[in-house]
Structure 1
Amino acid sequence: MKSIFLTGALIAVTACGPVAIAGVTAAGVSDNQLRSTEEALSDTQINLRLDAQLVAADNPNVAGVQTRVNEGRVLLLGTVPRPADAIEAETIAWSIPGVRAVVNEIEPGGTRSTGTVLRDVGIANSARFRLVNTEGIDPINYTVTVVNGVLHLNGLAPDAAELQRVTTAMSTVSGVEQVVSHVLLIDDPRRLRTESPAISR
């Protein structure tokens, strides 16, 4: 049985059988996007600055950390050799102007072989296709990233019903071992709340 964890909206979904989903990103600005144009552009700027800072850091272990930004909420993903590397990546994220919150899902001590990376990429392509072709879902509002078979879903949902459809669709993609949702509903008060750094690893 596959498990789905939701750290955003409270919706529970389980799926039996193979599930695969990988990094899917719906980028850009459209009339259907729940973020404002200003927020979308700001998120792009934050993402570019953060990626540049991670690459420029003295510690090469953080250069490959994957980042997603939605309304100033940063999601950090990937694997690093040491817990200290995950802490450093989070510290860098908090240093970027405009960041409201940081969710650190980096796996210390983990590794990904070339074969695993390619597998995750393949799952990502399948997930992108599934998002675009599932009725009742607007893919522009979601990003999907897969690390070691774990699907991380991020973005905004207009209501619980659509989020249910998204998580169910993602849980049926071949190859996904677990789905973790960081999606917030559009009326969630946490959307524009600025949190304080709480780095404790």
Structure 2
Amino acid sequence: MRHVSFSRALHFAPLAILLLAMPALQGCVGLALGAGAATGVAAAEERGIKNAANDKGIQIAINDRYLKENQYVWRKLSITVVEGRVLLTGVVGTEFSRDEATRLAWAASDRIQEVINEVQVTTSGDLLDSANDAWISTQLRAKIATDTDVVDINYSIETVNGTIYLIGLAQSDAEITKVTDYARTIKGVRRVVSHVWLKTDPRRRPV
């Protein structure tokens, strides 16, 4: 698969900023451009446009189910979907809430292939360091985006309490190793959990 380098992407950044700064009067045009950009990103991903759309539909369905049936879970969790594989991350106070997150996710859509529950349970009352987690995710994204040997667009990154969770599709084992090695070198990272599959993995079930 062809990889668009980070430096090449930067070449188009001024144009993108200009388009985003268009007056509100041209809101309809801006909306169309945004949709076009999203389509372009999906087309560049290994999973393709159709799978990306399917994954977004699954994510919306799970969010809707959480919102309607358990707003505590809805507030606490993040949902990432790659080719029907659902990754749940976040922190809750009880095992019941963790299990409920899995149950409601499965019930949300018949297009789900797998639910990976990486939700952390803590009863200590410790506050989630969201700012530090966001910084860690940003650092990792920057590292892989500037490495021309990594197709960074195929990776989703979630960080919770210093643990980095990865999901996506890799070009090779060497690429996975490089990404996880980058993750481990970031200050504040306690653990790296990878749910990344190779693009040739026979378990893939694209729509």
Q: Do these two structures clear the TM 0.5 threshold for a shared fold by scoring above it?
A: yes
Q: Deviations over 1:67-95 (max 9, x none)?
A: 11000000111111111101111011101
Match of 2:170 among 157, 166, 169: 157
2:194 corresponds in structure 1 to 181
Aligned AA (1:51): N
Partners of 1:150 and 1:139 in 2: how far apart? Answer: 19
Amino acid at match of 1:168: D
Unmatched 5+ residue regions in structure 1?
Answer: 1-26, 194-201
Q: TM-score, normalised by structure 1?
A: 0.75
Q: Which moved more, 1:166-175 or 1:146-155?
A: 166-175
Q: Comparing 101-110 with 63-72, which one deviates more in the overlay?
A: 101-110
1:146 paired with 2:173, answer no
RMSD: 2.0
- Contact kept, 8 Å, 2:73 with 2:101, in 1: the verdict is no
The structure carrying a bigger helix percent of its residues is 2
Larger radius of gyration: 2
How far off its partner does 1:52 sit? 2.4
C-alpha displacement at 1:30, in angstroms?
Answer: 4.4
Distance in 2 between residues matched to 1:142 and 1:159, nearest whole Å: 13
- Match of residue 60 from structure 1: 72
Deviations 1:23-68 (A, max 9, x none): xxxx863444110210011101111221222222245244321111
Once structures 1 and 2 are overlaid, which stretch shifts more, 184-193 or 89-98? 184-193
Q: How does 1:6-85 map to 2 (within 5 A)?
A: 29-85=41-97
**TM-score between both structures, scaled by the size of structure 2:** 0.73
Looking at both structures, which has the greater relative contact order when contacts are Cα pairs under 8 Å and sequence separation is at least 6? 1
**Are the structure 2 counterparts of residues 123 and 95 from structure 1 closer, same or farther at C-alpha, using a change threshold of 3 Å?**
same
**Contact persistence 2:46–2:169 (CA under 8 A):** yes
Alignment of 1:181-200 (within 5 A): 181-192=194-205
- One-letter amino acid of the counterpart of residue 138, structure 1: V
Whether the 8 Å CA contact 2:92–2:98 is kept in 1: the answer is: yes
